Amino acid sequence: MRDILGVMKQAKELQGKMQQLQEELAQIEVEGVSGGGLVRVTLTAKNDMKRIAIDPSLLKPEEAEILEDLIVSAYADAKRKAEAKSEEKMRSLTGGLGLPGGMKLPF
């Protein structure tokens, strides 16, 4: 019976830590770049886009398709960085739990 109570206590503590982690992830910002810095996209570690910066030299009607591709590329770069930050935070939170490899907690 004690083991069950201990597990329940750990689960409640983990739930609180997960909530705190969610709040932290919403505050972490990463920047993705493409086109040698001509396009920049900023995301939170929860993949919420915060801003896009486009160099004025790209704002030519005949280059719209290039600009669109660069935005997609910058977003992908920022998203990869956000996911890496998120995974890093999760590892620090769940390090002592001994979760099987590849198992992710929902958030």
Can you tell me the distance from the alpha carbon of 15 to that of 73, in angstroms, rounded to the nearest whole number? 35
CATH number among 1.20.1300.10, 3.30.930.10, 3.40.640.10, 3.30.1310.10, domain 27-91: 3.30.1310.10
Where are the chain's structural domains?
27-91
Residues 63-89: tens digit of each pLDDT: 878 888 888 888 889 888 988 888 888
**Model's pTM, two decimal places?**
0.58
Closest by Cα among 17, 18, 84 to 47: 84
99 versus 40: which is more confidently predicted?
A: 40
For 37, the token pair is 């810095």
For 6, the token pair is 């201990």
In the chain, what's the furthest Cα-to-Cα distance? 71
Residues 10-62: tens digit of each pLDDT: 888 888 888 888 888 889 999 999 999 999 989 888 888 888 888 888 888 88
